[in-house]
Amino acid sequence: MSILVIAEHDNQSIKTATLNALGAAAQIGGDIAVLVAGSECAAAGQAAAAITGVSKVLVADSPLYGGQLAENVAALVVGLAAGHTHILAAATTNGKNVMPRIAALLDVAQISEIIAVKSPDTFVRPIYAGAALATVQSKDAIKVITVRTTGFDAVPFTGGSAAVESVAAGADAGLSTLVGREIVKSDRPELAAARIVISGGRGMGSSEKFKILEPVADKLGAALGASRAAVDAGFVSNDLQVGQTGKVVAPELYIAVGISGAIQHLAGMQDSRVIVAINKDEEAPIFQVADYGIVGDLFQIVPELEKELG
Amino acid sequence: MKVLVPVKRVVDYNVKVRVKADGTGVETANVKMSMNPFDEIALEEAVRLKEAGKATEIIAVSCGVQASQETLRTALAIGADRAVLVQTDAELQPLAVAKLLCAVAKKENPTIVLMGKQAIDDDCNQTGQMFAALMGWAQGTFASKVIVDGDKVSVTREIDGGLETVSLKLPAAITVDLRLNEPRYVTLPNIMKAKKKPLEVLAPDALGVDITPRIATLKVEEPPKRKAGVKVPDAKTLVEKLKNEAKVIQ
């Protein structure tokens, strides 16, 4: 087996989602090469070489890959595909954007968002927003796979010493250009990678009142999240959304505040190790998945919680 | 400018799906079916492009069983001008659907193909990207804003951590995210009008597309259930439990 993992990076360092994808690759087994396609991305290439289990790093360094445009990255990967049995990427928005394009150009199916490896050609993936789990077997020569990061442990950032090879950039497809990005800046941990997440729902009432979660998040070193209802109501921006249509998280501790527990929200957090629910409605479905629940007024309980955390 | 909108018939999002006892799939008999909600948003965007004078014709296309005609009638009621059904009882996987859509697109020559970012049944999130690849077109996935400007389209995309705007050469494929728009309600007069709009039925064979599945589903099962835990009276007890029992905080 020879696996090519497409790295998610910022040209300087490798994002943790890639470590989870490498965790899945390790379970498949075989040689693992990592592709770092970027612009002035030598540092990211060096970082990839140090990751446990990586046997080779391919660096495609060109302004063409600075914006991670799917059209150009897919063409590059297709050119490197020969000899590989598997091509993997984390199921981030980037991975989800580029991988199906690669699969179609190779005339193979894609297996989306796997959460377990049964054998080198058989995988488990959630369907119907996690209401069912399908075990699927690929019949294609090259398996193109996206990996749900919460399904696999991250491999360590260090311990490896892979060779770094540079690969030639392809041609510019000339189809698309990146105009700009607006990335929300935050001092808190990244939602998808945080050890503790505290999320607010419709029960928070307003964007002003949503802020009462912030001091608790800061005391816990937690990331802030939200339900779709809270996002749709405009309390917080959509990048905080946890759920089937937002981010899927599986932290050590998930605290749901004023969240009723719609199926689409549960799909995004039910793999958390410990779940706490605070809700005034005793019948709220969130209590059916919560390890610890408090029934009551969140505007009274949240400040108490902050005080108790010292 | 023609806009092609692929729509999929799926189990309605309000239905709590049940896994079949024999583990071959989920129960779809006697279950309410609807248009994939993301496709509804794509269609709404197409209708708005037509209302704004940018699009001249909207063609809704679906691939699947005969009953998908109902989904297409809904699309016609929302504002599509005509519909195409590529009819088959065979299992269709995203690569096959992308190829069927290519065959339809080559007949229809649309400038924009707008579809949902994923279907809420198989949650694959592949068809739009695969279609764009096979056509050799630009792709704008997870769109929350679409602005057509001359021979280009500007697409604002929802990405991890924020937003990104790309400029795509037309023709292009765009897959839409939830916040692009709020689809309109279908009105009774429009449902009546939709019955008179043309709906063409094609066979995959006639389009020369091999739809053989590449992935075999070996088993479908329910996920392990979480058990409900305990109710605690106050924040003080909660913090104690989290420290001493669950040991998730210090």
Q: Is the CB of residue B41 less than 8 Å away from at least one CB of chain A? A: no
CB pair distance less than 8 Å for A70 and B159: no
Q: How far apart are CA A184 and CA A231, in angstroms?
A: 15
Does A221 fall in a domain? Answer: yes
Q: How many domains does chain A have?
A: 2
Q: Is the CB of residue A95 less than 8 Å away from at least one CB of chain B? A: no
Q: Which of B133, B157, B177 sits opposite A104 (nearest CB)?
A: B133
Confidence tier at B48 by pLDDT (50, 70, 90): very high
Range of the domain at A72: 2-166
Does A68 fall in a domain? Answer: yes
Residues A138 and A56 in one domain: yes
Q: Calculate mean pLDDT across residues B15-37.
A: 94
CB pair distance less than 8 Å for B220 and A134: yes
- Number of Cβ atoms within 10 Å of the Cβ of A1: 13
Q: Calculate mean pLDDT across residues B147-157.
A: 97
The answer to whether B21 and B15 are in contact (CB under 8 A) is no
First-to-last CA distance in chain B?
A: 61
In the predicted model, is pLDDT for residue B160 greater than 80?
Answer: yes
Q: Calculate mean pLDDT across residues A110-127.
A: 98
Does A175 fall in a domain? Answer: no
Residues A48 and A135 in one domain: yes
Domain B2-244 has what CATH class? alpha beta
Residues A153 and A200 in one domain: no
Q: Position B33: which residue type?
A: M
Residues A135 and A257 in one domain: no
CATH assignment of the domain containing A81: 3.40.50.620
Asked which of A44-58, B64-78, B224-238 is least confident by mean pLDDT, the reply is B224-238
Domain end among A149, A166, A183: A166
CATH assignment of the domain containing A239: 3.40.50.1220
Does A171 fall in a domain? Answer: no
The answer to whether B32 and B140 are in contact (CB under 8 A) is no
Does A185 fall in a domain? Answer: no
The answer to whether A36 and A58 are in contact (CB under 8 A) is yes
In the predicted model, is pLDDT for residue A100 greater than 80?
Answer: yes
Confidence tier at A247 by pLDDT (50, 70, 90): confident
Q: What is the pLDDT of residue A248?
A: 87
Q: Is the CB of residue B93 less than 8 Å away from at least one CB of chain A? A: yes
Q: What is the ipTM of this complex?
A: 0.95
Q: What is the pLDDT of residue A176?
A: 97
Confidence tier at B136 by pLDDT (50, 70, 90): very high
CB pair distance less than 8 Å for A307 and B235: yes
- Number of Cβ atoms within 10 Å of the Cβ of B186: 17
Q: Is the CB of residue A272 less than 8 Å away from at least one CB of chain B? A: no
Q: Calculate mean pLDDT across residues B217-232.
A: 92
Residues A145 and A224 in one domain: no
Residues A133 and A235 in one domain: no
Q: Calculate mean pLDDT across residues B200-209.
A: 95
Q: Calculate mean pLDDT across residues A253-278.
A: 94
Does A176 fall in a domain? Answer: no
Chain A environment of B127 (Cβ under 8 Å): 100
Q: What is the pLDDT of residue A190?
A: 85
Q: Is the bond preceding B183 in cis, omega lying within 30 degrees of 0?
A: no
Which tokens belong to B129?
């990207």
Residues A213 and A304 in one domain: yes
Q: Calculate mean pLDDT across residues B95-102.
A: 98
CB pair distance less than 8 Å for A295 and B134: no
Q: What is the pLDDT of residue B112?
A: 98
Q: Is the CB of residue A165 less than 8 Å away from at least one CB of chain B? A: no
User: What is the interface size between A and B, counted as CB pairs within 8 Å?
Assistant: 243
Q: What is the pLDDT of residue A62?
A: 98
Nearest residue of A to residue B138 by CA position?
A175
Does A303 fall in a domain? Answer: yes
Chain A environment of B16 (Cβ under 8 Å): 131, 263
Does A173 fall in a domain? Answer: no
* CA nearest to A226, candidates A218, A211, A3: A211
In the predicted model, is pLDDT for residue A18 greater than 80?
Answer: yes
What value does the mean pLDDT of chain A take? 95
Residues A76 and A135 in one domain: yes
Q: Where are the beta strands (DSSP E) in chain A?
A: 2-6, 31-38, 56-61, 86-90, 110-114, 116-119, 122-127, 132-138, 143-147, 163-166, 176-183, 196-200, 223-226, 253-257, 274-279, 292-295
Residues A156 and A252 in one domain: no
Within 186-205 of A, beta carbons closer than 8 Å to B belong to 190, 192, 196
Residues A16 and A111 in one domain: yes
Chain A environment of B178 (Cβ under 8 Å): 228, 245
Residues A137 and A236 in one domain: no
Residues A20 and A138 in one domain: yes
pLDDT tens digits for A230-245?
998 999 988 899 998 7
Confidence tier at A192 by pLDDT (50, 70, 90): confident
Q: Calculate mean pLDDT across residues B222-247.
A: 93
CB pair distance less than 8 Å for A92 and B26: no
Q: Is the CB of residue B179 less than 8 Å away from at least one CB of chain A? A: yes
Q: Which of A184, A288, A305 sits opposite B238 (nearest CB)?
A: A305
Q: Calculate mean pLDDT across residues B122-141.
A: 98
